[in-house]
Amino acid sequence: MIHYQLRCEQAHEFDGWYKDSTSFDKLAAAGLVECPVCGSAKVSRALMAPAIAKTRAERQEVAPQQPQATPPSPPPAGPQQAAAGPIPAQMVALLQRMRAEVEKNCDYVGNDFADEARKMHRGESELRGIYGEASDSDAEELREEGIDIARLPWVPRADG
Ligand SMILES: [Zn+2]
């Protein structure tokens, strides 16, 4: 459809909708376009300003592009091994017996465990059973030095 602003010889203006410009021309030539006011068939298209959609030029505030933080990749899905999980009751009982044995038969050397273990290994200290605390790196070093150590989960005593 095409919209024409029409004007008759009497300067009446009216609107007309036509299939296309050719359609209007044919109707007008045939005298079928009549002014609705005076009935005149002498109708011509008025000059029309192009219909420009008036869009408000909205200022788009261009937000400074934040560097896209890459989302942390999800942790690899997989069954968490029970290392950090609760120790089975049977194991706890065993560890409690071992702890009792260790405490009965070994000297507690606390944080000097690694040093004491080395001294005994070098023969600088009486060979005996000791127990105490050692860091992961201490334990690793002792193993590399060929010193046998056992790491026990230190469970609470059976008697509380
Ligand atoms: Zn007219």
Ligand 1 centroid, distance to 28 Cα (angstroms): 14
pLDDT number for residue 55: 54
Each residue's pLDDT tens digit, 54-110: 555 555 555 555 556 666 666 665 554 445 567 788 888 888 888 888 888 888 898
Ligand 1 centroid, distance to 14 Cα (angstroms): 9
Strands 43-45 and 2-8: antiparallel
Ligand 1 centroid, distance to 16 Cα (angstroms): 13
User: What is the distance between the alpha carbons of residues 146 and 47, in angstroms, rounded to a whole number?
Assistant: 104
Ligand 1 centroid, distance to 36 Cα (angstroms): 7
Instruction: Report whether 43 contacts 8 (CB < 8 A).
Output: yes
Ligand 1 centroid, distance to 9 Cα (angstroms): 6
Question: Which of the pair, 85 or 130, is modelled with greater confidence?
Answer: 130
